[in-house]
Amino acid sequence: MTVVNLGLGVRNEVLFVDVKGANGCATSKFTNKAGNTPLFITNSTEFMLKIGVGIYDIDLLTMNCEGCEFEALETLLSSNLINHFKNIQWATHSTLGVGDAIPRYCRIQELLSRTHRPTYQYRFIWESWRRRDVK
């Protein structure tokens, strides 16, 4: 296992955030509070290509990144890399101030349903999707 100090999103950027909660587990770029802790974000597709997604399939992509799931999934869905994830599990965090959360959530559901099927859904909380060819 390798731990990489970065988040996934739509573009490469560094934001400074205020670390909150036990061990910083409630930190989000959507709180609109500047802080002193750098948050490194990289383009989801670029990162996945660098680690070999596209050559290899990934058994599980799980995301609980305080609102950045939307950007990360939208970016992956805009490429064919989404086909290389057997299972995708994500926390939706639709109440964190993510712009247009409901329409974006519905669009992600629509696009994911082309290649994956839900295995469980607690809408706007947690859900998991399995690629259609995986039993």
Predicted local distance difference test score (pLDDT) of residue 62 = 92
Query: Does 25 fall in a domain?
Result: yes
- The count of domains in the chain is 1
Query: Does 99 fall in a domain?
Result: yes
Predicted local distance difference test score (pLDDT) of residue 64 = 84
Predicted local distance difference test score (pLDDT) of residue 33 = 66
Query: Does 1 fall in a domain?
Result: no
Q: Which structural domain, as residue segments, surrounds residue 96? A: 7-131
SS3 125: coil
Predicted local distance difference test score (pLDDT) of residue 25 = 59
Q: Which residues of the chain have pLDDT under 70?
A: 1, 20-33, 93-97
pTM, entire model: 0.82
SS3 122: strand
* Cα–Cα dist 12/7, whole Å: 9
Tell me the C-alpha to C-alpha distance, in Å, between residue 114 and each of 67, 92, 101. Answer: 23, 19, 20
Do residues 83 and 49 lie in contact, with contact meaning Cβ atoms separated by under 8 Å? Answer: no
* Residue found under tokens 């299972």: 87
Query: Does 33 fall in a domain?
Result: yes
Predicted local distance difference test score (pLDDT) of residue 96 = 57
Query: Does 2 fall in a domain?
Result: no
Predicted local distance difference test score (pLDDT) of residue 133 = 97
- Terminal alpha carbon distance of the chain: 25
Query: Does 53 fall in a domain?
Result: yes
- Please enumerate in sequence order all residues whose Cβ is within 8 A of that of 36, keeping only pairs 6 or more positions apart, or say none: 16, 18
The helix or strand, by DSSP H or E, that contains position 89, with its residue range, turns out to be: strand 85-91
Do residues 129 and 118 lie in contact, with contact meaning Cβ atoms separated by under 8 Å? Answer: yes
- When computed from its CA atoms, the radius of gyration of the chain, rounded to whole angstroms, is 15
